[in-house]
Structure 1
């Protein structure tokens, strides 16, 4: 394969070359009018992956002949932002393009705000996430949001046919496009993936005369293309392997799947949320500190984002994987909910009901309640469950040192009633 991927080799240089987004860049498109007038506002380009956000940013820079600086929110931090802004002060009309701007945390977005307000840079942010939720309101209020649409099947077909005709390498071969469904399905509407997959398929078929069929595309893609689709089957397979590796106490596999998700552009908060859930579901009282660490990790990555957040996630993942495991708390709530659904709204025993009024006291609410702290060891045997299900044990401590301690304590108090 050539040094540059096909998507880069044929990247459109003008609006007329761009396929799709007619509502923005067509003859009467609002963005075309802004570009041709030269009055480029700071903007957020919002749309699915691979529909032209980066390409439009490059075309804008080329059209207005402005200095163009590109940063990725996955790898750039506040330091890099400040360095770019400092350089921009000595270059008029600088356009700063930030890919995946939704991954910038508040402090990173705040670092941009002053430069955008002063006009030191014209910001073009690209995002696949709703900017109303992912871009802070101050920055959003100073930017025009343009919504890009997913590419239609007709757009994708035009893209492939154009690539075959215009690319210097592909045009040297005779390419028969017999079937396109596999190309379109595997790329998921992402033009960049589609073009690079096309290039890969043509290269692997090797002959001067190439026939592209669905079977050939699938075979080559399975051998050579590592696809991580955040909304597709691969997403669920990887997160499943990730969770099961931590549950299975394998920090090596766990951090490997963490890296797969990070490299695939997975939402850092999604990963962190799953770790908080796992800390209770699979570790629980076997190591209560696990939930503290997972919750702190979620808060930390929410504040700092990528790239530094990957280090926090790695610490949390390896800690959880190496921790003692118990699903006792998880099983307890499952059983309790099943019992509630089975038995309905049972009456709370009178002694432990709240009695804020005289009438309630006369009805027996709170009568006979024993205040635990008035007794030795802060415990006294009394009934808390409804009469119909008294003696039902829902929490069974796991077989690990911490929960064995809990079992012994519960046994000293409730052995006859619950069988601990």
Structure 2
């Protein structure tokens, strides 16, 4: 039997699908839709190897619909149109069991390729299911995204992955004949990086040559040879290397930042993905310590989208080095996190009357906005007054970072608010 283990034990029914209970559990949103026979066009977004393709197959099977599949890597507009023509000839309508077209790695489709899907999705000739490892808000055109529901698949946890291994040992026709003991699993889970497909491929390699085997960490590390310089845009290396890149910039090491940048460029990473990560970092890790960083990162993102390879590498390098050399502050990031936590804890507190909008006479009669002091009417454009709900008055959410610019912020806030916020 040449079929790989991951394919042999691929779940065929919803009840056998491991994890993603928020989608396919008893009260899951997809479970409800399948039960009702209503399958909208949708995008499945999540890390590699968590069962996006499997879930698409199950949806088609459970809803008894024809199933077509394309890979965005090897398919183009021609293949899309051929399938749409087949669907039209089959009489696909909103009220009928119209075919499902599954497109793996839909983020790799160009704008013209995605445009070719619009009419068929809109008219109900096909139900589109797209799978992506990238944020669909950035990678799927707005017109198509607006016609699809987006569902997020979470990474497998340790228990999920061990359940997969146990299922393989118990249920697979070949492995069930062997004596396999899972004594240690830490190294196996680490090497697979949470990718179920990779986990099962490695596991099959380990047990294929012996009938009696005890899985230990040493066995895994000795038998599995990893090429650590390999960069897989859809696998563990993708996430590890971009993590190293971001942490190098955050840690103010331009040398390491450029090295990891080169690893991504040489591996064929999407330049917009790299620029987008630096755009986030410019606000999260530098923020008001150097607001120009956000402007430069945004300009970098716009520039590489226009220029493309190979010249984009120069712009990316300039931005990475600038960000690495910038003073750092995560004060804005911490502040919004603290504010959101406070909102969840305190609920919908009333807006003070002085701050309320008063577009009608009734609202004015109720003193909406009556006590508000217009800051520009006062010295230095400032007048002390209450801007928070009374229940949380004096709560400090923003703590300026210890850098030249934000130290200036701190002094200004002290002068304005005296001891109210204890800056």
TM-score by length of 1: 0.58
Whole-angstrom distance in 1 between the partners of 2:155 and 2:103? 20
Q: 2:225 maps to which residue?
A: 222
- Equivalent residue of 1:219, what SS? helix
Aligned twin of 2:188: 183
2:239 is the counterpart of 1:231: yes
Aligned to 1:5: 4
Quick check: 1:82 aligned with 2:81? Answer: yes
SS in 1 for 2:169: helix
Displacement of 1:120 in angstroms is: 1.0
Q: Find out whether 1:165 has 2:173 as its counterpart.
A: no
Contact persistence 2:271–2:304 (CA under 8 A): no
- Once the two structures are TM-superposed, the CA of residue 224 in structure 1 deviates from its matched residue by 8.7
Q: Give me the CA root mean square deviation.
A: 3.6
Q: What 5-or-longer segments of structure 1 have no aligned partner? A: 245-253, 275-294, 302-312, 321-326, 342-420
Decide whether aligned partners of structure 1 residues 131 and 163 sit closer, same or farther in structure 2, where only a CA change above 3 A counts. same
Whole-angstrom CA distance in 1 between matches of 2:31 and 2:262: 47
Superposition deviation, residue 241 in structure 1: 8.9
In 1, Cα distance between equivalents of 2:147 and 2:3: 36
Q: Cα–Cα, structure 1 residues 227 and 271, in superposed 2: closer, same or farther, change >3 Å?
A: closer
Give the secondary-structure state (helix, strand or coil) at the position aligned to 1:158: helix
- Alignment partner, residue 14 of structure 1: 13
**Closer, same or farther in 2 for the Cα pair 1:108/1:223, shift >3 Å?**
closer
Contact kept? 2:242, 2:260, Cα under 8 Å: no
Is contact 2:241–2:260 with CA below 8 Å preserved after alignment? no
Which residue pairs with 2:297 in the alignment? none
- Structure 2: 5+ residue stretches without partners: 93-97, 246-257, 278-301, 328-423
Task: For 1:31 and 1:43, locate their aligned partners in 2 and report how far apart those are by CA, in whole Å.
Answer: 10
User: SS of the counterpart of 2:31?
Assistant: helix
Q: Partner of 1:210 in structure 2?
A: 213
Greater C-alpha Rg: 1
Looking at structure 1, the residues matched to 276 and 54 of structure 2 have their Cα atoms a distance apart, in angstroms, of: 33
Call closer, same or farther: CA 1:223–1:106 in 2, change over 3 Å.
closer
Aligned residue number for residue 174 of structure 1 = 179
Superposition map of 1:8-407 within 5 A:
8-91=7-90, 92=92, 93-203=98-208, 206-222=209-225, 228=232, 229-233=237-241, 240=259, 243=262, 258=266, 261-262=267-268, 266-267=269-270, 269-270=272-273, 299=306, 316=310
* Cα shift readout 1:133-161 (whole Å, capped 9, x = no counterpart): 22122111111111111111111111111
Change (3 A) 1:129 1:137: same
2-side partners of 1:46 and 1:242: how far apart? 25
| TM-score after normalising by structure 2 | 0.58
* 2:333 alignment counterpart: none
Does the 8 Å CA contact 2:121/2:147 hold for their aligned counterparts?
yes
Q: Provide, for residues 311-358 of structure 1, a one-character-per-residue CA deviation record: whole Å limited to 9, x for no partner.
A: xx5xx49xx9xxxxxx9xx99xx99x99x99xxxxxxxxxxxxxxxxx
Aligned partner of residue 39 in structure 1, secondary structure: coil
Please name the residue that 2:396 is paired with: none
Q: Is the 8 A contact 1:272 1:298 kept in 2?
A: no
Distance 1:227 1:296, change over 3 A: closer
Between 1 and 2, higher relative CO (CA 8 Å, sep ≥ 6) is seen in 1
How many residue pairs match? The answer is 277
1:204-261 per-residue CA deviation (whole Å, 9 max, x = no partner) reads: xx22111111111122221699773201159979x949949xxxxxxxxx9xx95xx3
